[in-house]
């Protein structure tokens, strides 16, 4: 075996997701760095404790993804998100916050964030969120996604008819959104703290109610109604 052949497995290794952490609480920032550093697919390339430094340092190291807190002094995360996306639109931004009101979620997404995760999320959910956003998908924590479904339906008019979605239960809507985001049954079960069998039951029920026969139909339905992006 040649030298190049021996090196092939190493050179073909999966590239890291480079992450920049923006969080003003030192203990939280250090905890995130330590936790994420355990994942070989993630490489922490920098951190900041305020929006101004985040913009400057992100511009210097050009990470694939920024993990952004919202509540910070001087310049908050929403303003920093808007400025980073304006200067570096290719950089993905995943917000990690305690704020769960619809107003915060909407404003943050409008500022350009690619995902929104609550700080009470599990390690598993955070890793899934990072991976999803890095792949170009939009990610919302399951516990908050239903809050904004109505407002994003039919071009953002919550007063328009939602007969198809009205046929689904709250949990079926959440499962539908996660399926459309590309999550497998096992990941959905982990995120929602239910069994795979229960996920399969929700999946079967929602497909029957919507008269769908495959995952592609679910994804197209979700994109059409603004629940996920292409």
pLDDT digits (tens, 9 = 90+) for 70-124: 988 778 898 899 999 999 999 999 999 998 877 678 778 888 999 999 999 999 9
pLDDT score at 205? 92
At 31, is the pLDDT very low, low, confident or very high (cuts 50, 70, 90)?
Answer: very high
The tens digit of pLDDT for each residue in 151-208 reads 554 444 444 434 577 788 889 989 998 988 888 899 999 999 999 999 999 999 998 8
- Contact (CB, 8 A) for 189 and 183: no
Q: Given this model, what pLDDT does residue 147 score?
A: 62
Q: What percent of the chain has pLDDT over 70?
A: 82
Domains of the chain listed by start with CATH number:
3-140 (3.40.50.2300), 147-224 (1.10.10.10)
């Amino acid at each position: 075996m040649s030298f190049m052949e021996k090196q092939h497995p190493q050179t073909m290794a999966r590239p890291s997701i480079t992450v920049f952490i923006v969080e003003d609480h030192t203990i939280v920032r250090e905890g995130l760095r330590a936790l994420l550093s355990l994942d070989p697919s993630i490489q922490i390339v920098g951190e900041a404790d305020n929006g101004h430094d985040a913009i400057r340092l992100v511009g210097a190291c050009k990470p694939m993804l920024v993990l952004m807190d919202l509540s910070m002094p001087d310049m908050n995360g929403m303003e920093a998100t808007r400025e980073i996306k304006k200067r570096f639109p290719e950089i993905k931004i995943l917000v990690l916050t305690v704020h769960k009101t619809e107003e915060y979620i909407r404003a943050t997404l409008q500022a350009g964030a690619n995902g929104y995760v609550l700080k009470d999320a599990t390690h598993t959910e955070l890793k899934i969120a990072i991976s999803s956003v890095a792949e170009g998908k939009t990610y919302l924590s399951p516990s908050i996604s239903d809050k904004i479904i109505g407002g994003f339906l039919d071009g953002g008019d919550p007063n328009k008819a939602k007969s198809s979605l009205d046929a689904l239960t709250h949990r079926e809507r959440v499962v539908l959104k996660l399926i459309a985001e590309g999550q497998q049954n096992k990941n959905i079960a982990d995120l929602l703290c239910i069994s795979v069998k229960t996920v399969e039951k929700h999946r079967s029920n929602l497909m029957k109610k919507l008269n769908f026969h495959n995952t592609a139909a679910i994804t197209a339905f979700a994109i059409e109604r603004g629940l996920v992006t292409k």
